[in-house]
């Protein structure tokens, strides 16, 4: 069964006109390399942003944990019970 597309025309040397030549390949590779570098820079920027966000979130969680463990539950219970006793008696 023949292919569904027509073969590209040749320039007489056997190299398809419009497909071939090392100059075209080199230009195509240069363009692809430039696009790849752009994508890599964007990925690096996203990675840095995410790293900062996760560091900030970790700092917040650690601050909350520090506060929770610095104030024992017994002291909080005593303060709440004193406040409730004062409000009920007045």
pLDDT digits (tens, 9 = 90+) for 9-56: 555 555 555 555 666 777 788 889 999 999 999 999 998 888 888 888
| Number of compact structural domains in the chain | 1
C-alpha to C-alpha distance for 21 and 8, rounded to whole angstroms = 13
**Is residue 6 in some structural domain?**
no
**Is residue 13 in some structural domain?**
no
Q: Which domain holds residue 46?
A: 22-89
Whole-prediction pTM:
0.42
Tokens in use for 68? 């929770």
**Is residue 60 in some structural domain?**
yes
pLDDT average, residue stretch 70-78: 80
CA atoms within 13 A on the CB side of 89: 6
Number of helices and strands in the chain (H, E): 2, 0
> How many angstroms separate the Cα of 81 from the Cα of each of 6, 33, 52, 70, 84?
88, 69, 41, 20, 5
**Is residue 29 in some structural domain?**
yes
**Is residue 69 in some structural domain?**
yes
**Is residue 2 in some structural domain?**
no
**Is residue 9 in some structural domain?**
no
State residue 53's pLDDT score: 82
C-alpha to C-alpha distance for 2 and 8, rounded to whole angstroms = 14
**Is residue 15 in some structural domain?**
no
């Amino acid at each position: 069964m023949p292919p569904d597309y027509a073969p590209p025309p040749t320039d007489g040397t056997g190299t398809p006109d419009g497909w071939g030549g090392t100059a075209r390949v080199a230009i195509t590779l240069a363009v692809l390399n430039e696009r790849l570098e752009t994508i890599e820079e964007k990925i690096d920027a996203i990675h840095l942003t995410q790293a900062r966000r996760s560091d900030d979130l970790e700092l917040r969680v650690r601050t909350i944990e520090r506060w929770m463990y610095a104030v024992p539950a017994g002291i909080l219970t005593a303060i709440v019970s004193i406040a409730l006793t004062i409000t009920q008696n007045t």
